[in-house]
Amino acid sequence: MKKSGAGLSRRAFLGAGAVLGASALLAPTRTGQARVPAPFAPTRTVALKAGEAELKLLGPDRPATRILAYDGEPFRTLRLPRGTRLQATFLNGMHEGSTLHFHGIRMPNEYDGVPTLTQPLVQPGGSFVHLLPLDDPGTFFFHPHCDETGQAGRGLVGVLIVEDPRDPAFDAEHVLTLKDWRLADDGGFLELSEPNGASRVGTFGATRTVNGAVSLNLTAPAGGDVRLRILNVDSTRIMDIGVEGGEAWLIAVDGHALRPVRLDDLPDGVWRMGPAQRIDVHLRMPRDGSPVQVGDYRAADIYHFATIAAEGKVARPRKGPLALPKPELPRPDMKKAERFSFTLQQATDAAVKDIALPPDDPLAKALLDSLCVGSTTYWGIDSESWPTGSRRNVPPPLARMTTGRSYAVEIKNETRFPHPVHLHGHAFEVLSSSLDRLPRHFADTVLVQPGEAVTVAFVAAPGDWVFHCHILEHMETGMMGWFRIV
Ligand code: C2O
Ligand code: CU
C-alpha cells in the first residue's frame, strides 16, 4: 500500500491503514481474472457477539430453551447494499472456542474463519476482525466453523442479505429461515449428534421451526409479486421446498440469479435443498385473494411452514417471472479447464487413509491446539478424511490449483446418503448431474444424491479453501478436505 492512487481520499486511506496495517485486500474485477490489490476502507462496521439467548421453541406455555445467538438475537440478520466493504468483528462470548464464517461470500482467504487453516481458534473472550467485500448480491448466511454440530445446532446462525438496487421491485418480501431443534420436554437440548445418525443420514431434530416459530402467517397483496428468501440452516435435514396455491419461480440459488424456472417444472415440483443451501423464489399471489402455502414436501408428513394471505390488491398485476440481474461472477473457461474428480465415501467402505502432515508443519501444530475435531471417522473424500479422533493432523490438500485458472470438479457420491457439498470462497457453476436433475446455475453448495456424479466449475481464487459436506455431523466425522490455490 504505497501511494494512494485513483481517487482514494486521505481519510479512507488512513481508515484502511488503521484497520489493516500493511495488508491489502484483493479487489475482484468483473472477469475475476486479474485481481488488483486495493486498500480496504470499510463502509459498514458491525460487531457480532456469540452468546446465550432464550427462545420459546416448545410453545408459549412451555419452558424456554437457552440457545446460542449472535447479539442475543436468534438468526441475527444483516441487510447491506451490494458493494459494501464490511468490517465485522466477531466477539466470542461463549465458554468454548469458535470462529465466524461467512458462507458463500467470495473474500480474501484470511477472513474465511476456518480454524487452523486460515486463522487460530478464537478463545472465550477473544475476537477476530473480518474484512469482507460484499460484491455479490444475494441471500447468504454466517455461522461458526468449530464444533458446528454443537454451536450451530444450538442456534448460532445469522442471515446476511446483500441487496442489489437493480433488482425488480417486488410488492412484498419475506425471509424464511428453517431450522430444527433437538429438544427435551424441559426445553433443554438432547444429544445433538448420535453415532447412528452421524454415520448415516444425520441426527434429526423433531421441533421444526421457521424464523424460530412453528409456522408463520404472512401477508402480501392479491395479484402481487412476492420475493421469498428461503434458507435451510439446519444441521441435518434435506428439504423439498414447494408452493401451493400460487405461481412460483425459482429465481436464485445460493444468492445467485438464474434464468427463472417454474417450480412446477422441476422434478416433483419442488427444489430439493440440503443444509446451507438457499433459494429465492418469486411467488405471484392469486388475484382472487386465496392464500398460498409454502412447505417442505419431503416427508409424507408435509411441513407447511408459511401461509401467505392476501391483504389488499395490486393495481396492475404483471405477467411472467421477474428475473434478477445476471450474476457478475467469474465464468469458467470450459475449453481450458483442468479436471478433477473426487469421491465421497464412507470410511468403512473405503478404508479411509490416515495420512497426515509432518508433525513439525505449522498447520499440524496449530491443529493440536484447537479443539475443532470430532472423535470418530465415519466419512472421507478420496480416501482422505479431515482429522478426527486419532487423526489429529490436517491431511494434504485434495488438489493444488492455480489462481485465475478454470477447473471442472466432478463430485461422485459412492455412499448411500445424499451430501450437500460446499466449497469455500467461490461461486461455482453447476454444469451437470449424472441424474440430469439440475438446471445450470451458480451456487456455493450442491446436493449430490447417492450414486450421482455432479460436475461443477469455477475460476480459482487464491487461498486454502475447505471443501466439505454441510451435513455438520458428516463434516465433523471426516467428510472435509481442502484445495490449495496459489
Ligand atoms: Cu457454511 Cu464450511 O461452511
Ligand atoms: Cu454428508
Residues 223 and 96 in one domain: no
Give residues (CB < 6 A) around ligand 1. Answer: 101, 103, 143, 145, 276, 422, 424, 466, 468, 470
Question: Is residue 51 situated within a structural domain?
Answer: yes
Residue 189, all three cell numbers: 437440548
Question: Is residue 323 situated within a structural domain?
Answer: no
List the domain range (segments joined by +) for residue 153.
13-163
Mean pLDDT score, 72-94: 97
Mean pLDDT score, 462-473: 96
Mean pLDDT score, 430-455: 96
Q: How many angstroms separate the alpha carbon of residue 435 from the centre of ligand 2?
A: 18
> What percent of the chain is predicted at pLDDT more than 90?
76
- Which residues neighbour 27 within 8 Å (Cβ) at sequence distance 6 or greater? 35, 36, 37, 38, 133
Question: Is residue 7 situated within a structural domain?
Answer: no
Residues 255 and 342 in one domain: no
Number of compact structural domains in the chain: 3
Question: Is residue 467 situated within a structural domain?
Answer: yes
> With contact defined as beta carbons under 8 Å apart, do 218 and 174 qualify?
yes
pLDDT at residue 432 is higher than 80: yes
**What digits encode the pLDDT tens for the residues 314-344?**
988 899 999 999 999 999 999 999 999 999 9
Mean pLDDT score, 300-308: 96
**What digits encode the pLDDT tens for the residues 233-270?**
999 999 999 999 999 999 999 999 999 999 999 999 99
Which pLDDT band, with edges at 50, 70 and 90, does 138 fall under? very high
Residues 346 and 480 in one domain: yes
Question: pLDDT value at position 376?
Answer: 76
Question: Is residue 3 situated within a structural domain?
Answer: no
Verdict on whether the full-model pTM lies above 0.75: yes
Residues 198 and 218 in one domain: yes
Q: Which of 163, 183, 218 is the last residue of a domain?
A: 163
Question: Is residue 4 situated within a structural domain?
Answer: no
Strands, DSSP E only, in 58-206? 65-70, 77-81, 84-92, 101-103, 127-134, 138-143, 158-163, 172-181
Q: How many angstroms separate the alpha carbon of residue 413 from the centre of ligand 2?
A: 10
Mean pLDDT score, 5-31: 34
For 104, which DSSP code?
T
pLDDT at residue 363 is higher than 90: no
Residues 177 and 149 in one domain: no
Q: How many angstroms separate the alpha carbon of residue 236 from the centre of ligand 2?
A: 9
**What digits encode the pLDDT tens for the residues 210-225?**
999 999 999 999 999 9
Q: 454 - beta bridge partners? A: 411, 433
Nearest-CA residue for atom 1 of ligand 1: 103
Residue 375 phi, psi dihedral angles, 5° rounding: -105, -10
Residues 364 and 307 in one domain: no
Residues 176 and 159 in one domain: no
The whole-angstrom separation of Cα 160 and Cα 77 is 6
Nearest atom in ligand 1 to the alpha carbon of residue 145 is 2
Residues 64 and 118 in one domain: yes
Question: pLDDT value at position 254?
Answer: 98
Residues 204 and 70 in one domain: no
Question: Is residue 318 situated within a structural domain?
Answer: no
Residue 20 phi, psi dihedral angles, 5° rounding: -100, -15
Q: How many angstroms separate the alpha carbon of residue 103 from the centre of ligand 1?
A: 5
Q: Which of 139, 163, 187 is the last residue of a domain?
A: 163
Residues 307 and 177 in one domain: yes
Q: Nearest ligand, CA of residue 274? A: 2
Nearest atom in ligand 1 to the alpha carbon of residue 475 is 2
CATH number of the domain within which 180 lies: 2.60.40.420
Nearest-CA residue for atom 3 of ligand 1: 103
Residues 207 and 70 in one domain: no
Q: How many angstroms separate the alpha carbon of residue 479 from the centre of ligand 1?
A: 12
- Which residues neighbour 253 within 8 Å (Cβ) at sequence distance 6 or greater? 277, 278, 279, 280, 441, 442, 443
Residue 157 phi, psi dihedral angles, 5° rounding: -145, 140
Residue 333, all three cell numbers: 473457461
Question: pLDDT value at position 46?
Answer: 98
Q: Which of 279, 313, 347 is the last residue of a domain?
A: 313
Question: Is residue 329 situated within a structural domain?
Answer: no
**What digits encode the pLDDT tens for the residues 34-46?**
444 567 889 999 9
Which range of 194-203, 303-312, 346-355 scores highest in mean pLDDT? It is 303-312
Residues 284 and 409 in one domain: no
